[in-house]
Amino acid sequence: MGEFIEILDLSKHFPVKDQSADFRLLTPFHSRQAILRAVDGISFFIRKGETLGLVGESGCGKSTVARCLLRLLEPTRGKIFFENTDLTGLKGESLRLLRKAIQMIFQDPMASLNPRLSVRQVLEEPLRLHERVTVKEREERVLEVLEQVGLDRELLTRFPHELSGGQRQRVNIARAIATRPKFVVLDEPTSALDVSLRAKIVLLLEELKSALSTTYLFISHDLSTVKYLSDRVAVMYLGAIVEIAEAHELFRHPLHPYTKALLSAIPIPDPEVKRDRIILEGEIPSPTQIPSGCRLRGRCPLAEAICSEEIRLREVAPDHWVACHFSGMQ
């Protein structure tokens, strides 16, 4: 306890139709339910003022974690502490107050803006809902956030379809920071953007974080950007965190076989850097059929009998946690 945000044994399961059954043999009486374990008992914490990067491939549960943190999804199990208050039980007014303190920026800048609201209306909405301010103060606050994200005042009367991709994402960022949140969840904020735009948005996010002294959870599958922005990084695989460490440490000395394989697959923009590619066999299993014990064991080059036993995150070096039976033993 005592950390800014602490997540204990968080799980989110979804009931789904069993996709593995052969649909041709099924009648309505045979339809079976399966449990999709999107997030499966994860625990981590975020320190005040830091950026925690959360990386993993699609379907590993990153976005589900984000949605649980904002109570956009109800966790199946587990606790989420935000400044020592458990969010999972909040209702009514206290939940509304929480929403002011925690904001989210989404991946698709177009889909997350209401096409029928002008930029001014988009930015006024959070202030109207969360802050008791006069009309004049609200106007000032709108102009202030607009300037913070580097947008021109002329854009206030525009609608999302009249903006470029980069401008849209800046409006999304402006909306998120309008209530001066203590914590911002960024779910793939740069994935839909081009190289040169991505660099600009990344630098803007970095600048805003220090200007607002807020805390970020930065979710992405783009490890290069995560490395650039994050203080610590957590790696997710199939609903679980397999490794969590300080960013430089993780990229320099990855310990979990999955982290190693993931890092070795990232293309490096330098033809003279030669690396050994670590290839995991096969594809990620379905989250309805998570292997027992270590989740990676069907694909891991190191797998042995012991891997069928349950494994939890262990601290193998200061602040470096790994969920592998072989870590710390090399």
Contact residues toward another protein (CB under 8 A) are 57-58, 164, 166, 194-200, 202-203, 221, 223-225, 227-228, 248, 251, 261-263, 265-273, 275, 277, 279-280, 282-283
Minimum Å gap between C-beta 242 and another protein is 14
CB atoms within 10 A of CB 188: 19
Please tell me the distance from the alpha carbon of residue 90 to that of residue 111, in angstroms, as a whole number. Answer: 28
Minimum Å gap between C-beta 265 and another protein is 4
Minimum Å gap between C-beta 296 and another protein is 12
Give me the residue label for tokens 């996709």: 19
Pull the structure tokens for residue 324.
């592998």
Q: What is the CA radius of gyration of the chain?
A: 21
Is the distance from CB of 284 to CB of 262 less than 8 angstroms? no
Nearer to another protein, 41 or 150 (CB): 150
Closest CA to 51 of 228, 295, 235: 228
Nearer to another protein, 283 or 310 (CB): 283
Minimum Å gap between C-beta 197 and another protein is 8
* Cα 148 to Cα 77, 125, 202, 299, distances in angstroms: 38, 18, 14, 46
Minimum Å gap between C-beta 58 and another protein is 6
Nearer to another protein, 223 or 234 (CB): 223
Nearer to another protein, 65 or 262 (CB): 262
Nearer to another protein, 103 or 259 (CB): 259
Is the distance from CB of 310 to CB of 323 less than 8 angstroms? no
